[in-house]
Each structure stands twice: as structure tokens, then as C-alpha cells.
Amino acid sequence: MSGIFPSSGASVALGAHSVVGANVSERAQLPPSLAISTVIFALTPESARGESGGGPTLWIPLVRRVKEPFRGRWALPGGPLAPTESLEDAARRNLRQTTGLEPEYLEQLYAFGGLNRSSRPERGSQRVVSIVYWALVRPTEAELLGEEDENVAWHRADTAGEQDGGLAFDHREIVDYALWRLRSKLEYAQIAYHFLGEKFTLAQLREVYEAVLGRPLDPANFRRQLKGMAQIEPTDEVLEGGRHRPPRLYRYTGARGRIDATTAPPPRQAAGEADPPPPAPSSTSPASPTAPAASTRSTP
């Protein structure tokens, strides 16, 4: 089961106690339960082309909950942490089980542990802390999302949950924070290339920036600023199949592994408060191939 709670019926050992069989007051006194969730970003998947509105957009896979709490709501893929596995191994296992995706780029995002994250804090629900990862997948990887399961589907990252009563738990806030982090990293890390194949056109690279920032960029200005980047080199190949002059293909020569540089975490919340909304993104640096970044979606 996706979301921040273990599957119904699972017994999670906590010292001399277990979740199964505990009454309301006992559950409220149990140590927090740990869970793993992941935000997976992809450019508009082929299966969602007709819903993208024409421009490049970011999409995330969500899993529909089939049990309470929040039955019928969409949620981030995830699940419980097994006692014998690492956090990253748990994230990868939960992704395989819920979506079939195995992203190359996977990084820990943040820990969400507000006291009132539980769906029913007034009823003595056990507190749940979610360790959230975020991942980036290329178009070929995105197509591996199983279409045979109607409870797993792609949703636009900026509007997910708006037409369905909202995402389950605090997953909308988690997605907003992941979007902010992605936009921030776009300005100082070569993260855009994790959305692309080994070879790409400059127009395809520009579409990545446009999808992440949520606005169009001037093609000529973008191309001019890219010329000073040492980690992009032209190939002898062109992209065939168009009606016009075929564009040159480029390749990224830098490392594609996980980027360890991180931004400062958001301010610490007071006890009992929800996790904070993402800070406003800063303006881009002069070396960045983009204009000042657009603001992120506001959070409740």
C-alpha cells in the first residue's frame, strides 16, 4: 500500500508492543512509525501527451489508496521500512512494488514528521514520520509505469490532487517542497541531464528547463548562454525525422550520478505544527541559462 502508513493488517513490532491489537490510547503512546515515500519527476510521459496542454510539463506517478484512511485519494508511492533494509533500499523496493519504476537518480529529500500528520490525531492514531526521497526518470524509464493497473497513474506535478479532493495526508506539501528543491538545484547543479537520454538536441534541453521552471524561455538567449558550458559537446549526429533541417545532437560529458550538494533546510517548525512550506526560490545566477525563476505553488 502506498502512502505514509504500513499496509492494513501488518504488525509492526515496537518493543513489547505492536500496532495490531493496540487500543486507541496505546497507539497514541507508541513510538513513531517510520515510512518511506518518493516523489518521482518525469517530463510529460507519452501516455499523458494529450493532457499536457502542449508545453513541456513535469509529471509524477501517484498511487490510488484502496483502504482507509483517505480511501480513493491519490498518494505518493511508498510504504513501510523493513527492519533489515537501508532507507534507500526501502525506497527502491517500494517503488518497484508500487510503480515498477527503478530510477537511476534517487536522493533523500527531507523528513516529514509533524505531530499532526496522522489522519486522525484526535483519535489517538500512532504518529508517522516519513523519510521522503525524490527521483528523476528519463522518458524511456517513464514508459515502464504499468498501464494495466488503474490505481497507478501519471499526474501533473503542479496540479496533482486539485480535481480529486486533494492528495492523501500531507503529500501535496511534500510535492511542493520537492518542486522547490528541483528548481533550486537547476540553478547550480547539472541536474537537467537526468531527464534526457545520452544524446539530445538543445531544444530538448531547453524543454527540460521550461518544464521545471514552469514558463517558456527565449530559444536564442538559451542557446547563447549554453555555449559557455564546458560539459556539453556536439556530436556528429543529427535528429532525423523532422520536416525542417535536422538539429544537431549533443551529449553531456559530466557525471550523471547523485549530486550531493544540498540547499539549506527550511526553518524548524514549532511542536505540533505542520511541516513548513518551501522557501521562495532565489533568482538565477548570471551563469545560468535561464531568467529569474518563477515562484513555486503556494502551500496551505
* Helix (H/G/I), strand (E/B), else coil: 92: helix
Cis status, amide bond into 69, omega within 30 of 0: yes
- pLDDT per residue over 190-248, tens digit each? 899 999 989 999 999 999 999 999 999 999 999 988 877 768 899 999 988 767 789 99
Residue type at position 35:
A
- Cβ atoms of 133 and 38 closer than 8 Å: yes
Which of 120, 95, 82 is CA-nearest to residue 42? Answer: 95
- Cβ atoms of 184 and 263 closer than 8 Å: yes
Which of 39, 41, 17 is CA-nearest to residue 28? Answer: 17
- pLDDT per residue over 153-186, tens digit each? 999 999 999 988 899 999 999 999 999 999 999 8
| Domains present along the chain, CATH in parentheses | 13-252 (3.90.79.10)
- Which long-range CB contacts under 8 A does 248-252 form with residues at least 24 apart? 248/201, 248/202, 249/199, 249/200, 249/201, 250/199, 250/200, 250/201, 250/202, 250/205, 251/198, 251/199, 251/200, 252/190, 252/193, 252/196, 252/200
Average pLDDT over residues 293-300: 28
Residue type at position 198:
E
| 292 has pLDDT over 90 | no
- pLDDT per residue over 101-138, tens digit each? 999 899 999 999 987 776 654 455 778 899 999 999 99
